[in-house]
Amino acid sequence: MTVVIGFEGSANKIGVGIVRDGEVLSNPRRTYITPPGQGFLPSETAKHHRSVILTVLREALQQAGLKPADIDCVAYTKGPGMGAPLVTVALVARTVAQLWGKPLLGVNHCIGHIEMGRLITHANNPTVLYVSGGNTQVIAYSERRYRIFGETLDIAVGNCLDRFARVIKISNDPSPGYNIEQMAKRGSKYVELPYTVKGMDVSFSGILSYIEEAAHKMLSSGQCTAEDLCFSLQETLFAMLVEITERAMAHCNSQEVLIVGGVGCNLRLQEMMGVMCKERGARLFATDERFCIDNGVMIAQAGWEMFRSGHVTELSDSWITQRYRTDEVEVTWRD
Amino acid sequence: MLDGGTEYDIIRDKFRALDVAFPSAREASIAFQSLSPDREPRRGGATKELHAAGSTLSVRWTAEEARILRVSVGSFLDHLALVLETMIEFGPPVAQ
């Protein structure tokens, strides 16, 4: 049996999770929530993580019913993400690894999402749509790498949604994306927005500028409601994501789609992707907010795969990195 | 009026140092290994050197600007405090 504890804190969530051979033993998490109209900044986010990380770690051990001696490996997020929060989490991971005499393992955050999704859904070799506040990528596995077939040319889809939420002062609790999703259900009028798919890639910054500019004018003149804008933005963004995912599937002859990342728990996105999959005779795999949104177990699970195939990270190589592409990691644990 | 160059001249090439005493060499070494891997952000020309000798962790800074030195020392003290808290809560270190 191999037990791995994972530490994640690359953005505004801080989580510690424990897995034992594919079984999730615990996965506590906290979210740094900012007031409406405000995003989360690196130093404040790091401060938040610092104030709760030891409590979350204690919870993870208690809920799993384990002692430090039962753990085989300490995994943490090496990157990509925001520097200050990443350092905060890495400091604790390094320290406990040494106190407990366990090997340390730096994990790529994106690989964490993919391996978590594969574990929970049992998708075998899916085309992966990874959509979050910091990343938008269409990924497929080939010859020991998770290869990026398409990605955003500017901001991430979740960033586009979050920033739109700030413009019209939608609450960040529990998350701006969740609140947009609920409001969109009550929208009825479709406002046409730019649609920017460029080959395999997508671009969201132009759509954001357009809707930022138009929102207040349209709302104050009564042309449409905030709910209509939420609805229109979701439909446009998600249609673009479904299009590039379908193109990657056709390219790879894939019959499986796995959606991961925080935006992946949006049920409207899952529904639209499901329609496309049905038309192609493909299967859709998705997870709920426990595993879609950043969490400790995703790092533990990717760490478990890596550790079992012989990886460890020396302390001197355990520096964090804000940029770390998915395809930089050699996937030694898959055929 | 003082210009930026004056401050620069006062501080340049002078180092600020800090010694932190630990209960044993083992804890000093753990703190050293936890705090060393991340490089100082390159902008601003601050450098930070860590050494562990016996049960003492020593830090030495050089900086071209007082402002940068303050930021570097401040963030180091935050990091050190987190490592110490982690040690108190999840230590003592297992026998090697």
Nearby residues of A270 by Cβ (< 8 Å), 6 or more positions away = A259, A264, A284, A286
Residue B67, pLDDT score? 82
Q: Is A179 annotated as a binding residue?
A: no
Of B34, B90, B93, the CB nearest to A91: B34
In angstroms, the CA A79 to CA B48 distance is: 23
Interface A–B counts its CB contacts (< 8 A) at 68
Give the residue range(s) of CATH 3.30.420.40 domains in chain A: 3-114+292-328, 125-289
Residue B4, pLDDT score? 34
Residues of A in contact with B79 (CB under 8 A): 87, 91
Q: Would you call B93 and A320 a contact, using CB atoms and an 8 Å cutoff?
A: no
B→A contacts (Cβ < 8 Å), by residue, are: 30-31, 33-39, 41, 78-79, 82-83, 85-87, 89-94, 96
**Does the beta carbon of A20 lie under 8 angstroms from any beta carbon of chain B?**
no
Average pLDDT of the segment spanning A166-192: 97
CB A7 within 8 A of CB A92: yes
Is the link from the previous residue into A80 a cis peptide, with omega within 30 of 0?
yes
Q: A125-289: which CATH topology?
A: Nucleotidyltransferase; domain 5 (3.30.420)
Q: Would you call B37 and A316 a contact, using CB atoms and an 8 Å cutoff?
A: yes
Beta-strand runs (E) in chain A: 3-8, 13-20, 23-26, 29-31, 73-79, 104-108, 127-131, 136-142, 145-151, 197-198, 201-202, 256-260, 283-286
The CA distances from residue A71 to A1, A23, B82, B90, in Å, are 10, 14, 22, 13
Residue B9, pLDDT score? 42
Beta-strand runs (E) in A143-261: 145-151, 197-198, 201-202, 256-260
Average pLDDT of the segment spanning A240-254: 96
In this structure, the dihedral spanned by the alpha carbons of residues B49, A7, A158 and A134, taken in order and rounded to 10 degrees, is 30
CB A250 within 8 A of CB A257: no
| Averaged pLDDT score across all residues of chain A | 97
Angle at Cα A47 formed by Cα A46 and Cα A51, nearest 5°?
Answer: 115
Residue B13, pLDDT score? 52
Distance from CA of A323 to the nearest CA of B (A): 14
* Residue bearing tokens 């290994």: B33
Residue B14, pLDDT score? 57
pLDDT tens per residue across span B21-75: 999 999 999 999 999 999 887 766 788 899 999 999 999 888 877 888 888 889 9
Query: Would you place residue A205 in the very low, low, confident or very high pLDDT band (cuts 50, 70, 90)?
Result: very high
**Domain residue ranges of chain B, discontinuous segments joined by +:** 4-90
Q: A3-114+292-328: which CATH topology?
A: Nucleotidyltransferase; domain 5 (3.30.420)
Q: Which CATH architecture has domain B4-90?
A: 2-Layer Sandwich (3.30)
Residue B12 reports pLDDT greater than 60: no
Residues of B in contact with A316 (CB under 8 A): 33, 36-37
